[in-house]
Amino acid sequence: MITTNSSCRICKSSQLRKFLSLGDQPPANRFIEKKDIDAPEPQYPLDVYWCANCHLAQLRDIVDKQELFENYIYFSSGMPKLSDHFRNYAEDIMRRFLRPGDFVIELASNDGILLKFFKDRGHRILGVDPAKNIASKAQSLGVATICDFFSEDLAEKIAKSEGKAAAILANNVVAHINDHHDLAKGIAKLLDERGVFVLEAPYLVDMFENLTYDTIYHEHLSYLAVHPLKTLFEQFGLEIFDVEIHPVQGQSIRVFTGKKGAHEVAPSVAACIEREHQLGFDAFESYQKLAERVTASKKKLIETLRELKRQGKRIAAYGAPAKGNTVLNFCKIGTDLVDYALEDLPSKHALLTPGMHLPVVDRKTAESNPPDVYLLLAWNYLKPILAKEEVFRSRGGKFILPIGDEITIL
């Protein structure tokens, strides 16, 4: 169920140095049923390494992807805030790069929420997603979807049967892929000469600036920055020509890549690489300092929760996202501190969080038994949640942010 890489997935250097260990953890989306509470849970090392050659921050211990993704329970359309994000994204790509009828492919297309915007404007579309339940939902919504993992082989098949693409989109998936060379080769084969490959991923800068270490879980194999991605694509005749930074799921980068020389290279590419240099991404000591901050943050969070318990406060978690499980398992926050996790996604209701086994409950159950304090695991939705929970807060209810150099209570 687990393999260990001996070299960097971008540059193949064997100079990988460990800088952070979050302990052995179960896969962050492996929620369990109550009847399985005593069954053994698989736990795998969650250790992060830095490549001394290309500077990619990465996991070496790779959990089998079938185990992680085959029955994925995350549906994009279930997240209302994301719909506007995807609409704006689609309109931007169409305006900048597409001609009427152009072919658009999306990797990890989920239930087709993004591709539908292209289809509605007359583009030919194709999704690729390995999760059977999600791919069939997309099909039923009218989004043609191949149920498979993207690979060079699959890229060749698609190019042969459907033609090459004017745009290939990959949101929050590149970091999930172990074989980056296979990915880049596939993109090079499937992209037409003026085509654009657009990837969006959490930006490592965010982890340094906001201590968002909860983006670390087994599904996220790489913690991406522009410099290592440039090293990757250059090996396969591809060139990054623009980078945008978006405030979605923390800070994300949207990286635009084409065939070498096909697009004019914007100053944003060099600007990002310079920022990464300023933050010390090319020096191991910077990562060691980051790890020290993570350890200090854990200590402060546990002390805060214990103090609240001593004061007789009741604590629950707000949201049960995958990233929250990294925090819960790393800090060992179980039902002795936190009673339950309120979650709006019905697919997680009545389950237990992996590892720490917090019961996941729906809104009605939480509101009939409200806590004094919510640990805000879904901090990326901070603003809409604070607005939604005005009544809770007006009665004295508090929110604690689980990450950061200092503990924030709102």
CB of 56 to Zn ion, least distance (A): 5
C-beta closer to Zn ion: residue 51 or 315: 51
At 390 the three-state DSSP class reads helix
Separation of alpha carbons 280 and 263, rounded Å:
29
Piece in contact with Zn ion (CB under 5 A), picked from 10-18, 247-255, 275-283, 332-340? 10-18
Pick the closer one to Zn ion by CB: 128 or 229.
229
Tokens at residue 221, please?
Answer: 């194999």
Q: Residue 49 or residue 374: which is nearer to Zn ion going by CB? A: 49
The structure tokens 């689980």 sit at 402
Which residue number, 54 or 196, has a Cβ lying nearer to Zn ion? 54
Quick one: angle between helices 322-331 and 284-310, nearest 10? Answer: 80
Q: Is the Cα torsion angle 188, 191, 192, 194 positive or negative in sign?
A: negative
Cα 200 from Cα 90, distance rounded (Å)? 13
Question: Would you give the end-to-end CA distance of the chain in angstroms?
Answer: 41
Measured CA to CA, the distance from residue 134 to residue 114 in angstroms comes to 14
Smallest gap, in angstroms, from Cβ of residue 168 to Zn ion? 24
**Contact flag: residue 11 with Zn ion (CB under 5 A):** yes
Among residues 302, 293, 348, which one has the least CA distance to residue 329?
302
The answer for residues whose C-beta is within 8 angstroms of residue 239's C-beta and 6 or more apart is: 233, 257, 258, 259, 260, 261, 262, 263, 265
Confirm or reject binding of residue 46 to Zn ion (CB under 5 A).
no
Tell the smallest beta-carbon distance from residue 52 to Zn ion (Å).
8
**Minimum separation from the CB atom of position 406 to Zn ion (A):** 33
Is residue 190 part of the contact set for Zn ion (CB under 5 A)? no
Q: How far is the CB of 221 from Zn ion (least distance, A)?
A: 13
Kindly indicate which of the ranges 13-21, 42-50, 116-124, 277-285 contains the residues binding Zn ion, using the contact rule CB under 5 A. Answer: 13-21
In the complex, what is the shortest distance from the CB of residue 17 to Zn ion, in angstroms, rounded to a whole number? Answer: 11
Q: Which is nearer to Zn ion, 11 or 385 (CB)?
A: 11
Residues 50-69 as x/- pattern, contact with Zn ion by CB under 5 A: -x-xx-x-------------
Residues interacting with Zn ion, by CB under 5 A?
A: 8, 10-11, 13, 51, 53-54, 56
